[in-house]
Structure 1
Amino acid sequence: MIRLYQSGDEAGINALYEKVFGKKRSLAEWQWKFGTFPESATIVVSEEDGQINGHAAFLKLTARKQGNELTLGERVDIMVDPDFQGRGIYKQIVSRMMQECEAEGLDILYGFPAETAKQVFMKVAGGKDLGNVPRFLAVNKPGALLAAKVGKLKKIQAPLDKAFSVSVPKRSTHQLRPLGDRLSVAEMLYGRFENQYPLHAKRSGGYIQRRFLDHPTKDYQVYTLEQNGYAEGYCVLHEETKDNGVTFATIVDLFGPNDEAVIADQLKAIRRHTQADALNCWAVPDSPRYRALKKAGFFHINSPMPFVIKDFTGTGSYDELTDWHLSQSDVDSY
């Protein structure tokens, strides 16, 4: 039976999630993803003999472009129990999800699916592949990365880091200051600069609170980027130490003037501020951020994330990757 979510399904959904993806997810994390973070969520499940064996969902968010608002849906957690594959369940839940998208008046459904899921989405939902989003890397402490790969180098890690410290920017005109309870400042910054960007998720103070500050397990650091005591942007960082001991900082979000020189200086300030061994960040090709990352000492290392959409507006106005402003914040798992 294909149906919409009912209260109490979350335990079965999480059990399916663990079976399919091999990762545990607490009920608090489920509640954040489908209740706290999005403006609303629509969940389709397949159930047989009281067991949930299929799941597809989208998270509703408001997007803006030049003052105009659109309703987006992020497709998430499309999964079928391995023991029930080959029965057409995937197609059924995706088809029902698409019906719900239209019924709820979605303008665009988007996602970052794996290759196999992408092909199914394209076929069943009539989606369009806009290309892969580039990922950039900057190395602040190369000794740490080398030592993680070659254990014998650990003894000379500190001298290596010192020798290569010249690659870390020494100057920037921006400084990082913890946002704290100044959500109104972030709201003000969004209002100042939103019209400089192509289509993007609306970054209100409420969005920052729900997306980052209310997350039950991840510790996000939110900073304003300031010049002479005045906020000129904000950034969201998340640091994670891998099993090999290397600490990576992800620039989950960065918002301010959509100006190449300004963004480059802000990125340099972030590199100077963090104690992480390396940093990574996304950027849409040919955007000011894409060019600024190169100026700030980042390197384009790969483009691992495909970006697909189903545009219900029929205008064709959002059919190119350059029509979008994307950050890792647009993927709920970052």
Structure 2
Amino acid sequence: MRITVRPADLHADRDVLIDMMLRFLTPMSDGPRYDWLYHQNPDGQAQLWVLIDSDTGAIVGSGGFVPRRMYVNGRESLCAILVDFWIHPEYRSLGPALQLQRACLAGIEAGPYDLYYDFPQENMVAVYRRLGIETSQWLVRLTKPLSLKRKFGRLSQIPFFGRSLIAATNGILKLRDAGKGNRSRCTISEQRVECGDNFTQLARQVSSKYGVCVARTASYLNWRFQSHFHHRCEMLTAHRDGSLLGYILFVEDAETATILDLFGMEDERMKSDLVFAALEVLRERNVLSVNAPSLRSHPQTAFLRKLGFYPREPHPVVISAPRGKAGLEGANFFLMDGDRDS
């Protein structure tokens, strides 16, 4: 069995890739996701490589990257995020994985990209290690309970006592949070239209304070969140005297919600108001808990912990610069769940 790698033709290979990704990568693989991720990204079209069984000509794996504008060392740079790495189960071994990932990284090396990052699965960590690339950061899942219904388990099924106990306990949780909001004198409101130039201006004004981070321009936010192929992402904004100071993005999935992004001026009261306004919306919908994945090393993680979020399991993150590019030693990185590929 001879395995080769070639660049994907994003149009000619489209139907095969959608089908194979549905079978071996994600249940969300379909035409809208493919077009959204590979073609509609405002920072540029994706580049993809496919693993080929030379005996049959079949595609048995793929991997690639999506261009992403970021602020690096105080300036806006073109960077890349690795996406959609999968291999057919019959071909899953270190050799084909290394062959495919080398092609992806060579594509980045050959382009104008100042850095790349990835949220690899555990089995990909070994591939990166064989390529001499270590996991340099950790994305920790921060979580905050809004209800103790799960905690009480079967006790919640007792008609009067169980429900009364849960209601009383949840009331205490709500009351504890109520005293922490509405301190910034900002107007918190839902963003119901596309993001405008004021979001781009905010990103340019404050991104350097966050360290190395995604350039949260209006075009990026509208594509990544407002026009998402599957999720209904919600945004609350904070304004004072007509000026945009910050925003929070979150998505609800049954009884759990996830904060995708929390960004804005260095004003902890304003950010606290955004967080607790989002929590109040989610409480009214009977959401039981809220997750806020964030890089463990960034100060915003400590800030969220002060608001009652506590850390759970960490996940590895790879952040690296292509050869010949400026080093990233000592840089402060800011990534949240919304900075993933999809």
| Normalised-by-shorter TM-score class | 0.7 to 0.9
**1:24-78 per-position Cα deviation (integer Å, ceiling 9, x unaligned):** 5111111111112352211000223242101111111111135412222111121
Look up the SS of the partner of 1:161 in the other structure: helix
Counting only pairs closer than 5 Å after superposition, residues 268-283 of structure 1 correspond to structure 2 as 268-275=276-283, 276-283=287-294
Q: 1:91 to 1:181 in 2, by over 3 A?
A: closer
Name the stretch that deviates more: 8-17 or 84-93: 84-93
Q: 1:316 to 1:152 in 2, by over 3 A?
A: farther
CA contact (8 A) 1:235 1:255 kept: yes
**1:149-196 per-position Cα deviation (integer Å, ceiling 9, x unaligned):** 765267444344224322323332344312223422322322332221
> Is it true that 1:103 corresponds to 2:110 in the alignment?
yes
**1:273-298 per-position Cα deviation (integer Å, ceiling 9, x unaligned):** 43332211133335331222122121
How far apart, CA to CA, are the structure 1 residues paired with 2:297 and 2:92?
A: 41
Q: 1:150 to 1:216 in 2, by over 3 A?
A: farther
2:40 alignment counterpart: 36
Look up the SS of the partner of 1:2 in the other structure: strand
> Is it true that 1:133 corresponds to 2:133 in the alignment?
no
1:244 alignment counterpart: none
> Is it true that 1:299 corresponds to 2:310 in the alignment?
yes
CA contact (8 A) 2:256 2:288 kept: yes
2:27 alignment counterpart: 23
Counting only pairs closer than 5 Å after superposition, residues 193-208 of structure 1 correspond to structure 2 as 193-208=206-221
CA contact (8 A) 1:260 1:291 kept: no
Look up the SS of the partner of 1:93 in the other structure: helix
TM-score, with structure 2 as normaliser: 0.85
Pick from 178, 182, 188 the counterpart of residue 176 of structure 1.
Answer: 188
Pick from 2, 7, 22 the counterpart of residue 5 of structure 2.
Answer: 2
- Counterpart residue type for residue 177 of structure 2: V
In the TM superposition, residue 238 of structure 1 has moved relative to its aligned partner by: 0.6
Look up the SS of the partner of 1:129 in the other structure: coil
In the TM superposition, residue 81 of structure 1 has moved relative to its aligned partner by: 0.6
**1:299-327 per-position Cα deviation (integer Å, ceiling 9, x unaligned):** 12232x2111331155664245x621111
- Counterpart residue type for residue 59 of structure 1: V
Look up the SS of the partner of 1:168 in the other structure: helix
Pick from 47, 50, 54 the counterpart of residue 52 of structure 2.
Answer: 47
Name the stretch that deviates more: 159-168 or 130-139: 159-168
Pick from 198, 201, 210 the counterpart of residue 185 of structure 1.
Answer: 198
Q: 1:74 to 1:167 in 2, by over 3 A?
A: same
- Counterpart residue type for residue 317 of structure 2: F
Counting only pairs closer than 5 Å after superposition, residues 72-91 of structure 1 correspond to structure 2 as 72-86=79-93, 88-91=95-98
Look up the SS of the partner of 2:296 in the other structure: coil
Q: 1:92 to 1:22 in 2, by over 3 A?
A: same
Q: 1:268 to 1:283 in 2, by over 3 A?
A: same
CA contact (8 A) 2:118 2:318 kept: yes
Q: 1:163 to 1:310 in 2, by over 3 A?
A: closer
> Is it true that 1:267 corresponds to 2:278 in the alignment?
no
Q: 1:239 to 1:148 in 2, by over 3 A?
A: farther
How far apart, CA to CA, are the structure 1 residues paired with 2:94 and 2:117?
A: 26
Q: CA RMSD in A?
A: 2.5
CA contact (8 A) 2:247 2:274 kept: no
CA contact (8 A) 1:66 1:194 kept: no
- Counterpart residue type for residue 129 of structure 1: T
CA contact (8 A) 1:130 1:319 kept: no
Look up the SS of the partner of 1:32 in the other structure: helix
Q: 1:4 to 1:203 in 2, by over 3 A?
A: same
CA contact (8 A) 2:237 2:244 kept: yes
CA contact (8 A) 1:74 1:111 kept: yes
Name the stretch that deviates more: 219-228 or 104-113: 219-228
- Report % sequence identity: 20
1:63 alignment counterpart: 70
Look up the SS of the partner of 2:120 in the other structure: coil
In the TM superposition, residue 328 of structure 1 has moved relative to its aligned partner by: 0.9
Pick from 307, 321, 324 the counterpart of residue 333 of structure 2.
Answer: 324
How far apart, CA to CA, are the structure 2 residues paired with 1:110 and 1:181?
A: 27
Look up the SS of the partner of 1:18 in the other structure: helix
Look up the SS of the partner of 1:128 in the other structure: coil
TM-score, with structure 1 as normaliser: 0.87
Q: Which runs of 5+ in 2 are unaligned?
A: none
